[in-house]
Amino acid sequence: GENVEQHPSTLSVQEGDSAVIKCTYSDSASNYFPWYKQELGKGPQLIIDIRSNVGEKKDQRIAVTLNKTAKHFSLHITETQPEDSAVYFCAASIGSNYQLIWGAGTKLIIKP
């Protein structure tokens, strides 16, 4: 069935360095790819999303790239800060019922 794989499961980077999280999806019909950030004790919150008609999108220190041919997309965080520490989820749209298939999550740790 449809699947989204996310790597790595844990990522530890030095404050100020960049972090990259990668996802692959299986459904070639997927056309919406959001990234969510979940802080401890809270619900996930959208940080950036990209649609299939765009290859890259940037919002300040956060960027997402999409390669539809290879069916993978990545989250890039530059100049990481302590408040970036959280669990990050990628997701891909499936079907026409506003359903998302979610990756397993990446725990990002920013070392001071």
In the region spanning residues 31 to 70, those forming contacts with other proteins, defined by CB under 8 A, are 31-32, 34, 38, 41-46, 49
| Binding status of residue 89 toward other proteins by CB under 8 A | yes
What secondary structure, in 3-state letters, does the chain show? CCCEEEECCEEEEECCCCEEEEEEECCCCCCEEEEEEECCCCCCEEEEEEECCCCEEEECCEEEEEECCCCEEEEEECCCCHHHCEEEEEEEEECCCCEEEECCCEEEEEEC
- In the bound state with other proteins, the residue whose beta carbon lies nearer, of 92 and 110, is 92
Shortest separation between residue 101's beta carbon and other proteins, angstroms: 8
Residue number with CB closer to other proteins (40 or 112): 40
Q: Min. distance of Cβ 10 from other proteins in angstroms? A: 11
**Least distance to other proteins, CB of residue 16, Å:** 26
- Asked if 105 touches other proteins (CB under 8 A), the answer is yes
